[in-house]
C-alpha cells in the first residue's frame, strides 16, 4: 500500500515514480520553493519602500530647487547633477535584496545540514518561538520499542496471549505494535490471519483471530470493550514506573493480560533538550501514553517543564491552541499520523524525516535524518538567518540615510565636495554587493553553539 514502511524483510518493488516525481525531486522542489518564499519580515522593507520612493523623488526635486535658487554658477548644471545623484544613490536595490538573499542562502544551508524548510515564514517563526512541544514516541525515543514483559490473568498462557495480540498488531504501523510482532517472531511464532481489524488512534486496535475477539489498547479502550483492567492495574503501575509503556489485552470481552514495552531515548535526546533549554525554550511533552510512563521518560530526558499524557490526536492540537492563546509562541515536533493536527496548529511544525508523510506534509520544517539533534541546528539556523536579514536591512537603511544627504550636497558648505552621478552609481552598486556578500557569508560562517561549554554541541551548522 502506498505510503507504508518496510521495517524488515525483502520486497519486490515496482517503480511508479521516476525523475521529477521522486522523493528526491520533491525535496529539491521544496527547497527551491522555500528560497522563493517571503518571510513576514519582508513586509517591513515593502512598507518602507512604499514611502521611500515618493520621498526620494521629493528630495530630488527639493535638491534641484535649492541648488537652482541658491547654488553657485552654473546653477542649472549643479542642480541637475545633484538631483540625478540623489535618484541614483537612493535606488533601493540593497533594500530589495536584503531579505530574499538571506532566505535563499539560509534554506540552502539548512538543506545541506538535514533541515528542510518549507517556507521562509517557518524559519522566522522558529527564531521567535519560546515554547517547544515534543511528542514522545519516535521523537524523544528511538521509536523502536521492544517487549520487556507480559503479564497474564488466570486461565491464559503467555504464548497464547502474545500470539493473539501480535496477530492483531501485525495489521498496525504503530512502533509499539511492531514491538509485539517482533517478540512473537523471536519466539518462532507467526501471526494468524485477522478479520474485522479496526484502529482507533490514541486508544488501541481490535480484530478477530481464530474466532476470538481481541482488543489491545489502554484502559479506556478496554472499558469500551467491556473488560475490567483492575486485576492487572498494580502490575501496570509497576511497569510504568520503570519507564515502560503498557497495553492491556482483552479476549472475548475479558481481560487476558498486559504487554509491557520499553522504548529507549535517542542517543542525543538529553543533550538536545539541554541545548534548547539553554536557548530559553520551555519544553512541554505530549503523549498518548500513560502519565506514569510519561513522567519516567521525562525524568530520564531532563529539562521537560510540563507533561500531558493519555492524549488523543485532537487533544494535542487543543493544548497547542491553548498555549498560543495564552501568549506562547509554540513549535511542535512529532513524527506520527496522530501528531499531524498538532503540527498544523503550532506556529511552526517540525516533523521528523523518519516519520509519516502526513506529519511531514503538516509541518513547516522537516528534520531529514530523523535526529532530534538536527532541531538544535534548525534553531541555530533560524537565529543566524534572521540576524543576517536584520544586518542587511540595517545596512540598507544606514546607507541611504547617509548617501542621500551626501548626494544632495550636504558636504559642500563645509568641504566643498559634490558627489557626481558616476560615483553615486558606483556607491549604489557597492551597497548591493555588500548585502549579497553578507548573505553569502551565512552559507559558510561557523555559528556559535547554544552551549559552548558542552562539547556535544560544538561545531557549526
Complete edge-to-edge strand list for the sheet that includes strand 212-217: 146-152, 254-262, 245-251, 212-217, 204-209, 195-200
User: CB of 261 within 8 A of CB of 145?
Assistant: yes
The catalytic position among 135, 151, 263, 289 is: 135
How far is residue 145's CA from residue 176's CA, in Å, rounded to a whole number? 6
- Please report, to the nearest 10 degrees, the dihedral formed by the alpha carbons of residues 24, 27, 28, 32 taken in order: 170
The position carrying cell 520486497 is 11
Catalytic, 135? Answer yes
Residues classed as catalytic: 135
Amino acid at each position: 500500500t502506498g505510503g507504508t514502511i518496510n521495517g524488515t524483510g525483502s520486497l519486490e518493488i515496482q517503480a511508479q515514480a521516476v525523475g521529477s516525481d521522486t522523493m528526491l525531486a520533491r525535496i529539491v522542489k521544496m527547497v527551491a520553493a522555500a528560497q522563493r518564499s517571503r518571510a513576514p519580515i519582508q513586509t517591513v522593507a515593502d512598507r518602507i519602500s512604499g514611502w521611500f520612493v515618493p520621498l526620494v523623488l521629493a528630495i530630488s526635486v527639493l535638491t534641484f530647487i535649492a541648488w537652482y535658487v541658491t547654488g553657485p554658477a552654473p546653477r542649472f548644471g549643479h542642480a541637475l547633477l545633484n538631483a540625478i545623484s540623489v535618484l541614483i544613490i537612493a535606488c533601493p536595490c540593497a533594500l530589495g535584496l536584503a531579505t530574499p538573499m538571506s532566505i535563499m542562502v539560509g534554506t540552502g544551508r539548512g538543506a545541506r545540514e538535514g533541515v528542510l524548510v518549507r517556507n521562509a515564514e517557518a524559519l522566522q517563526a522558529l527564531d521567535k518561538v519560546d515554547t517547544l512541544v515534543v511528542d514522545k514516541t519516535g521523537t524523544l525515543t528511538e521509536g523502536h520499542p521492544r517487549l520487556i514483559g507480559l503479564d497474564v490473568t488466570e486461565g491464559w498462557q503467555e504464548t497464547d496471549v502474545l500470539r493473539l495480540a501480535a496477530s492483531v498488531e501485525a495489521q498496525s504501523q504503530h512502533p509499539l505494535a511492531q514491538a509485539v510482532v517482533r517478540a512473537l517472531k523471536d519466539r518462532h511464532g507467526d501471526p494468524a490471519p485477522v478479520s474485522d481489524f479496526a484502529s482507533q488512534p490514541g486508544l488501541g486496535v481490535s480484530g478477530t483471530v481464530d474466532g476470538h475477539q481481541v482488543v489491545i489498547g489502554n484502559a479506556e479502550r478496554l472499558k469500551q470493550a467491556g473488560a475490567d483492567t483492575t486485576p492487572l492495574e498494580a502490575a501496570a503501575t509497576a511497569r510504568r514506573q520503570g519507564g515502560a509503556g503498557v497495553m492491556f489485552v482483552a479476549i472475548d470481552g475479558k481481560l487476558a493480560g498486559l504487554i509491557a514495552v520499553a522504548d529507549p531515548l535517542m542517543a542525543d535526546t538529553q543533550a538536545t533538550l539541554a541545548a534548547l533549554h539553554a536557548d530559553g525554550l520551555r519544553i512541554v511533552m505530549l503523549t498518548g501514553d500513560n502519565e506514569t510512563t510519561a513522567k519516567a521518560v521525562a525524568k530520564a530526558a531532563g529539562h521537560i517543564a510540563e507533561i500531558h499524557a493519555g492524549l488523543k490526536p485532537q487533544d494535542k492540537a487543543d493544548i497547542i491552541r491553548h498555549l498560543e492563546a495564552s501568549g506562547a509562541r509554540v513549535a511542535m515536533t512529532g513524527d506520527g499520523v496522530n501528531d499531524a493536527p498538532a503540527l498544523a496548529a503550532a506556529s511552526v511544525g517540525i516533523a521528523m524525516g523518519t516519520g509519516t508523510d502526513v506529519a511531514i506534509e503538516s509541518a513547516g520544517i522537516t528534520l531529514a535524518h530523523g535526529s532530534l539533534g538536527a532541531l538544535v541546528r534548525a534553531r541555530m539556523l533560524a537565529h543566524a538567518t534572521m540576524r543576517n536579514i536584520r544586518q542587511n536591512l540595517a545596512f540598507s537603511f544606514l546607507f541611504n540615510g547617509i548617501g542621500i544627504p551626501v548626494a544632495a550636497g550636504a558636504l559642500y558648505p563645509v568641504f566643498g565636495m559634490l558627489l557626481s552621478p558616476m560615483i553615486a552609481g558606483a556607491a549604489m552598486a557597492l551597497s548591493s554587493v555588500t548585502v549579497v556578500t553578507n548573505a553569502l557569508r551565512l552559507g559558510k560562517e561557523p555559528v556559535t553553539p547554544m552551549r559552548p561549554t558542552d562539547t556535544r554541541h560544538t561545531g557549526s551548522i
